[in-house]
A = this chain, B = another copy of it.
Amino acid sequence: MKDRNHLFDVGISHTVNIIDKGTVDIPMLQILQPDGSAHSDAQMPDMSQETAHKIFQTMHYIRVLDERMVGAQRQGRISFYLACSGEEASTVGSAAALSEHDMIMSQYREQGALAYRGYRTEQFMNQMFSNKLDPNKGRQMPIHYGDKALNFMTISSPLATQIPQAAGYAYGQKMAGNQAITICYFGEGAASEGDFHAGLNMAAVLSCPVIFFCRNNGYAISTPSSEQFCGDGIAARGLGYGIKTIRVDGNDVLAVYLATQKAREIALTENCPVLIEAMTYRLAAHSTSDDPTGYRSKEEEQKWREKDPVQRFENWMKSKGWINEEQHKQFIEQTRQEVLAAMKKAEQVDICEIDDLVNDVYDMPPWHLQEQLSQLKKHIRLYPDAYPKTAGRIRHD
């Protein structure tokens, strides 16, 4: 039994010494200035032209996707959408620094990471149109993507639940000797949930190789972060858990990439969690159900538009001579068309057969679900017009 002597290890003061917010200074890593030029003394990440190009294209891809899908929602073609504009650097830059074997557990605004992993336009569409090609079998609202093949955990709406789960997943990776880590994304709002506390503390105590990546984008729906917490952001909490922590400019893709690379290296080699706080801004509405004019000013939004992460990276890429304007224009145009075409296709695909209403509740439907399903089929056969999406395709059993 190792004796505990925490008291013996502690420094002593003989007068009241108040520790407060100002006690620590947590600066933010920034490599690119808002105009896209690198700080002269910046630690440059080791990023190939190929990777830079993939990042660049993914950021643009996501912008196009967001724009089109917000439009599709307005047209009533899908019920819901959630854009990520302003945060492309955070999610794409971090995903780019990972291995494809690393598990990604996201909140919902990380389509950038998913696209970087290789999720295809038709996959996005099948999910959003809840059709039978959706791997979720049409069971979740739009944007709740998930793909086992890409090591991207299916998104669930309840906030922060993925945080302790990420600790557990990473623990399993470590025990299996996988040489892979888990990255867990969440918003600064979700970080108020009890699950955040549980997850970070457990990951630290149980030495889990996981990156906790907080997108501090200033808002949780209408609630500004000033009404969400009083500390110095989320980074200051890392200290409390004894977790190594990096704060980064979330609108600077090079900084995000470098910080995540470093974090991954630490997590994997030291078997421990690392917390990254990306300082960014949700340029879009919270979702298509939201209208931000009720809670923030155009001026504020404008200030942040000037820090646009996509433009900033584009300027840097240009300065490197890594952009072919013509090809880029073509890429954008082609993406637009691809999205429109895939949308048209996906919305014509049927939903799953009725059996999938009861499948996957358990590994096999137990007696009571079998009974309920067969009663339901009988009922649908009685009123086929009332259940047009499934009535025509009921298997006889």
Contact = CB atoms under 8 A, between A and B. Distances in A.
- Among A193, A194, A196, which residue has the most Cβ atoms of chain B within 10 A? A194
Given A231-B241, A245-B19, A11 B29 contact: no
A236 B239 CA distance: 7
Interface residues of A, number: 83
Contact of A3 (B195, B244, B299): B299
A229 interface: yes
A78 B45 CA distance: 67
B23 A27 contact: no
Contacts of A20: 239, 242, 244-245
Interface in A1-39: 1-7, 10-21, 23-31, 39
A297 interface: yes
Nearest to A207: B230
Interface stretch (A168-176, A218-226, A325-333): A218-226
Given A6-B218, A198-B192, A242-B229, A43 B16 contact: yes
Contacts of A266: 18
A344 B124 CA distance: 74
A262 interface: yes
Given A231-B239, A244-B19, A6 B279 contact: yes
Contacts of A6: 216, 218, 225, 233, 279
A196 B41 CA distance: 42
A362 interface: no
Nearest to A295: B1
Contacts of A295: 1
Contacts of A18: 244-246, 262, 266
Tell me the number of copies of this protein: 2
Given A23-B24, A281-B7, A231 B244 contact: no
Contacts of A244: 18-20
A271 B307 CA distance: 37
A47 interface: no
Interface in A248-283: 249, 258-259, 262, 266, 279-281
Interface in A51-97: none
A305 to B, nearest CB: 13
A258 B218 contact: no
B262 A21 contact: no
A39 B21 contact: no
Contacts of A5: 300, 303
- Among A216, A225, A242, A244, which residue has the most Cβ atoms of chain B within 10 A? A242
Contacts of A1: 295-297, 300
Interface string A138-163: 00000000000000000000000000
A6 B28 CA distance: 11
Contact of A225 (B4, B197, B226): B4
Nearest to A299: B3
B16 A246 contact: yes
6 contacts: A4-B226, A7-B279, A14-B39, A17-B27, A18-B244, A19-B245
What 6 pairs across the A-B complex have the smallest Cβ distances? A194-B194, A197-B197, A237-B240, A230-B242, A231-B242, A11-B27
